Amino acid sequence: RLGMNEDIKEILYSKSQIKEVSKQIGKKLTADYLDKKPLVICVLKGAVLFMADIIREIDTYAEIDFMDVSSYGDGTVSSGEVKILKDLDVPVEGREILIIEDIIDTGKTLQCLVDLLKHRKAKTVKICTLLDKPERRVEGVVPDYVGFQVPNEFVVGYGLDYQGMYRNLPYVGILKPEIYENN
Ligand code: PRP
Ligand code: MN
Ligand code: MG
């Protein structure tokens, strides 16, 4: 039986590498947010796995919430249109906000989110992303905490999808081009 793993050309970041980088970032976050009671926001759906890892490495009081914004739909190319599919449950005014993302590509999703949170009078807004793909950036978004800088390849796994699939791979890998070329 052919499984998801056969669709992957190369593993970029293994489960243990991701665990290690989450611990390192978590230490910094613990120090930076000590007694600040941050609101940690997971950007659905891609960031769920990294979110679950990161919050367990933050050793201080923190609240969590979820937002669903989508720019890609089912394609491989950003539409540039960012839609809010689910908003936060709590007000952000005066709060220290930490956004958790799986990847920053063009930066459009995060630019929109940061603008929105600042408009709602958040005290601070910082970004923590597992992957950063600076080559593709069209907005001036600069993350504050980065797991790995990723080459300009179509990556999936650990939350990242292609047509809704592969999010449950326990590593980040490069998708074989033949998988998306026929679509
Ligand atoms: C992906 C990814 C980031 C965003 C990055 O989300 O998870 O949120 O795109 O792209 P950008 O920097 O070009 O905006 P997507 O919109 O595919 O939704 P998903 O997380 O539900 O897969
Ligand atoms: Mn996303
Ligand atoms: Mg997606």
pLDDT tens-digit readout, 105-142: 999 999 999 999 999 999 999 999 999 999 999 999 99
- Would the pLDDT of 171 be above 90? yes
Whole-angstrom Cα Rg for the chain: 16
Determine the atom of ligand 1 nearest the C-alpha atom of 109: 14
pLDDT of 76 > 70? The answer is no
Q: Ligand 1 atom closest to Cα of 102?
A: 7
ipTM entry: 0.98
pLDDT of residue 2: 72
**What CATH class does 15-155 carry?**
alpha beta
By the 10 Å C-beta count (0-12 exposed, 13-18 middle, 19+ buried), 173 is classed as buried
Q: Is the CB of 139 under 6 A from ligand 1?
A: no
Give pLDDT tens digits for 11-32: 999 999 999 999 999 999 999 9
Record the pTM: 0.94
